[in-house]
Structure 1
Amino acid sequence: MLTSAILAETGHAAPTVPGLASVIPFVILLLCIAILPLIHKTSHWWEHNKNKLIVALSLGLVTIAYYQMRGYGIAHGDHATDPGIRTVLTVLDHAILGEFIPFISLLFSLYVISGGIRVKGDIPAHPITNTVFLAIGGLLASFIGTTGASMLLIRPVLRTNSERKHVVHTVIFFIFIVSNIGGCLLPIGDPPLFLGYLKGVPFLWTFKLWKEWAFCLVVLLVIYYAWDTIAYKKESKQDVTLDETRVTPIGIDGKINFLWLAGVVFVTGTMDPTKPFLGTGWTPFPFLRELLQTAFVGLSLVSTGKGVRAANHFSYTAILEVACLFIGIFICMQAPIEILNLKGASLGVDTPYKFFWATGALSSFLDNAPTYVVFFETANALTHEPGPGILQLLSGHFIREDLLIAISLGAVFMGANTYIGNGPNFMVKSIAEHAKIKMPSFFGYMGYSVCILIPVFCAVMFLFL
Structure 2
Amino acid sequence: MTVAWWSVIPFAVLLLSIAILPLVPATAHAWEHNRTKLAVALACGLPVAVWFVVAGHGTEVVHALWEYVQFICLLLALFVVSGGIFLAGDIRATPRNNTIFLAIGGLIASFIGTTGAAMLLIRPLLNTNRERAHRVHTVVFTIFVVANCGGLLTPLGDPPLFLGFLRGVPFEWTLSLWPQWLFVNVLLLATYYGLDRRAYARETPEAIAWDDTSQSPLRVVGKIHFVFFALVIAAVAFVPSLDLHALETGHATWAQAIPWRELVFLLAAVLSFFLGDREVRFAYNQFSWAPILEVAALFIGIFLAMIPALNFLAQVAPRLPLGEVTFFVFTGGLSAFLDNAPTYATFYEMASQLPGDPRIGLAPGVPEAYLVSISLGSVLCGAITYIGNGPNFMVKAVADDAGVTMPSFGGYLGWSVRHLVPTLAAMALIFIADGVVWTALGLALAVGLLVRAVLLARAHVHPVDAS
Residues 271 and 284 in structure 1, CA contact (< 8 A), matched pair in contact too: no
Matched, 1:61 2:72: no
Matched, 1:270 2:238: yes
Matched, 1:194 2:167: no
Residues 152 and 174 in structure 2, CA contact (< 8 A), matched pair in contact too: yes
Describe how 1:312-351 pairs up with structure 2 within 5 A. Answer: 312-349=285-322, 351=323
Which letter does structure 2 place at the counterpart of 1:232?
Y
Matched, 1:222 2:190: yes
Residues 376 and 407 in structure 1, CA contact (< 8 A), matched pair in contact too: yes
Describe how 1:80-159 pairs up with structure 2 within 5 A. Answer: 84=55, 86-87=56-57, 89-97=58-66, 99-159=67-127
Q: Which runs of 5+ in 2 are unaligned?
A: 245-252, 433-467
Residues 183-222 of structure 1: CA deviation (Å, up to 9, x unaligned): 1111121111111112221222111111111111111111
Which letter does structure 2 place at the counterpart of 1:302?
F
Residues 91 and 331 in structure 1, CA contact (< 8 A), matched pair in contact too: no
Aligned residue in 2 for 1:464: 431
Which letter does structure 2 place at the counterpart of 1:265?
I
Deviation at 1:283, TM superposition (A): 6.3
Describe the shift of the 1:248–1:412 C-alpha distance in structure 2 as closer, same or farther (beyond 3 A).
same
Question: 1: CA distance between counterparts of 2:39 and 2:170?
Answer: 40
Secondary structure at 2:112 match in 1: helix
Aligned residue in 1 for 2:174: 206
Deviation at 1:377, TM superposition (A): 0.7
* TM-score with structure 2 setting the length: 0.87
Aligned residue in 2 for 1:181: 149
Aligned residue in 1 for 2:8: 23
RMSD: 1.7
Question: 1: CA distance between counterparts of 2:169 and 2:195?
Answer: 38
Which letter does structure 1 place at the counterpart of 2:311?
E
Residues 175 and 416 in structure 1, CA contact (< 8 A), matched pair in contact too: yes
Describe how 1:154-169 pairs up with structure 2 within 5 A. Answer: 154-169=122-137
Aligned residue in 2 for 1:359: 331
Residues 36 and 43 in structure 1, CA contact (< 8 A), matched pair in contact too: yes
Describe the shift of the 1:28–1:282 C-alpha distance in structure 2 as closer, same or farther (beyond 3 A).
closer
Which has the higher mean CA deviation after the structures are superposed, 425-434 or 35-44? 425-434
Matched, 1:431 2:404: no
Deviation at 1:359, TM superposition (A): 0.5
Question: 2: CA distance between counterparts of 1:220 and 1:249?
Answer: 28
Bigger RCO of structures 1 and 2 (CA < 8 A, at least 6 apart): 2
Runs (4+) off by over 6 Å: none
Question: 2: CA distance between counterparts of 1:32 and 1:425?
Answer: 17
1:307 counterpart (274, 279, 297): 279
Deviation at 1:303, TM superposition (A): 2.2
Secondary structure at 2:220 match in 1: strand
Aligned residue in 1 for 2:373: 406
Describe how 1:271-286 pairs up with structure 2 within 5 A. Answer: 271-273=239-241, 284-286=256-258
Question: 2: CA distance between counterparts of 1:271 and 1:434?
Answer: 33
Question: 1: CA distance between counterparts of 2:302 and 2:400?
Answer: 22
Residues 104-123 of structure 1: CA deviation (Å, up to 9, x unaligned): 11111111111111112211
Deviation at 1:254, TM superposition (A): 1.1
Secondary structure at 1:440 match in 2: coil
Q: Which runs of 5+ in 1 are unaligned?
A: 1-15, 70-83, 276-280
Aligned residue in 1 for 2:217: 249
1:450 counterpart (417, 421, 438): 417
Residues 26 and 333 in structure 1, CA contact (< 8 A), matched pair in contact too: yes
Residues 363 and 414 in structure 1, CA contact (< 8 A), matched pair in contact too: yes
Question: 2: CA distance between counterparts of 1:26 and 1:436?
Answer: 30
Aligned residue in 1 for 2:453: none
* TM-score with structure 1 setting the length: 0.88
Deviation at 1:463, TM superposition (A): 1.4
Question: 2: CA distance between counterparts of 1:282 and 1:459?
Answer: 50
Which letter does structure 1 place at the counterpart of 2:315?
L
Deviation at 1:182, TM superposition (A): 0.6
Residues 324-349 of structure 1: CA deviation (Å, up to 9, x unaligned): 11111000000010112233222222
Aligned residue in 2 for 1:8: none
Deviation at 1:426, TM superposition (A): 0.9
2:264 counterpart (292, 316, 319): 292
Residues 55-113 of structure 1: CA deviation (Å, up to 9, x unaligned): 111211221233245xxxxxxxxxxxxxx3x31x212212101x111111111111111
Question: 2: CA distance between counterparts of 1:388 and 1:59?
Answer: 42
Residues 22 and 66 in structure 1, CA contact (< 8 A), matched pair in contact too: no
Secondary structure at 2:171 match in 1: coil
